[in-house]
């Protein structure tokens, strides 16, 4: 599959898509949980240490299976009533267990608070991963903020289990 396939799902244009200026590459993975584990594993290898990955407390247990196989530490942060991170709790936890990777999930297709998550990741010198599994297309927004974006088109279309990482 190619990135142009995603473009065809969301528009009638048949031209090759252009990534935002901030994003220069993409790859396909066997699924979102595999993609998340690959990113975290690569970051841990690059840093040469066990990294701390912060995930929302409301996160699919099945999606954790690949992460649990890695030499990483998982920390779960609280969410408010709108399923958004409680940033003050993350800052407090960061003092004891520094955040290396911060995962921001866009639940049920609702794209919000990624600016605040970007600011937090910058403040804590962490990598920001936007979990976009519930977003139908990378073209739903033209200003993503994560260092990595993970889309799962198989959740919206009759496709094999795949993920697009930008």
CB 142 within 8 A of CB 158: no
* pLDDT band per the 50, 70, 90 thresholds, residue 15: very low
Dump pLDDT digits (tens) for 108-157. Answer: 888 899 999 999 999 999 999 999 888 877 777 777 899 999 987 655 55
pLDDT of residue 61: 67
Min mean pLDDT across 11-15, 33-37, 68-72, 116-120 is at 11-15
How far is 63 from 65, CA to CA, in rounded Å? 6
- pLDDT attached to residue 156: 55
Q: Is the pLDDT of residue 29 over 80?
A: no
Give tens-digit pLDDT for 73-106. Answer: 999 999 999 999 999 999 999 999 999 999 999 9
pLDDT for 121 equals 97
Distance of CA 153 to the CA centre of its chain: 14
Instruction: For residues 16 and 8, give the distance between their C-alpha atoms in angstroms, rounded to a whole number.
Output: 9
């Amino acid at each position: 599959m190619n990135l142009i396939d995603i473009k065809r799902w969301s528009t009638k244009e048949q031209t090759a898509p252009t990534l935002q200026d901030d994003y220069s590459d993409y790859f396909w993975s066997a699924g979102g949980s595999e993609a998340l584990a690959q990113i975290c594993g690569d970051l841990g290898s690059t840093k040469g240490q066990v990294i701390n990955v912060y995930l929302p407390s409301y996160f699919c247990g099945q999606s954790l299976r690949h992460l649990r196989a890695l030499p990483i530490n998982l920390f779960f942060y609280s969410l408010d009533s709108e399923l958004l991170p409680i940033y003050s709790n993350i800052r407090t936890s960061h003092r004891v267990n520094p955040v290396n990777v911060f995962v921001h999930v866009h639940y049920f297709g609702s794209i919000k608070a990624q600016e605040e998550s970007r600011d937090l990741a910058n403040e804590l010198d962490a990598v920001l991963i936007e979990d976009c599994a519930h977003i139908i297309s990378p073209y739903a927004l033209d200003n993503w903020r994560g260092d990595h974006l993970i889309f799962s088109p198989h959740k919206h279309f009759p496709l094999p289990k795949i993920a697009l990482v930008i």
